[in-house]
Every structure is written in C-alpha cells, then in structure tokens.
Amino acid sequence: MEIIVKDSSVHGKNCFGCKRHKKAVLISFSTSKDLRIHDIFLTSAQAQQLIIQLRKTLRNNEQDENIS
C-alpha cells in the first residue's frame, strides 16, 4: 500500500497514546484521500534508527542534487 502523507506531527512519551501503548514516540499523519489520522508508535530505539536512516537518505539526496 502506498500512502502520500499530507500532514504529519511527532509527539513524545507524555502523550496519551504513548503512555497507553508504553512507547516513546508517536508519529501522526493524515492523507488527502482519508480524513482519519493515522498513528505510528515507536520505541526510543526505533525512533533513533529512523532518524539515522532519514539523515542518511537526506544526505544522499542532497549529494545527488549537487552532482546533477
């Protein structure tokens, strides 16, 4: 399934959902086709790994743009 994200937000361990699911990070997003808000709950380790992957991808994208 492919999802095009319209809006996103990030919340910490003190939000209701993180407390309920015992997770450190909540990523919420919506799409233009669906009025619902979708939530992803991550542990600290998962969130840190996501940050590493995002930074690497953004660096690679930037390098690709500089080469072109």
User: Position of tokens 């542990």?
Assistant: 43
Say how many CA atoms lie within 13 Å of 31 toward its Cβ. Answer: 8
CA distance 37 to 22: 20
Question: Is residue 44 predicted with pLDDT exceeding 90?
Answer: yes
Q: Average of pLDDT values for 34-60? A: 96
Mean pLDDT of the chain: 94
Q: Is residue 21 pLDDT above 90, yes or no?
A: yes
Residue 68 has what pLDDT? 66
pTM of the entire predicted model: 0.85
Q: 34 versus 20: which is more confidently predicted?
A: 20
Rounded Cα gap, residues 20 and 17, in angstroms: 5
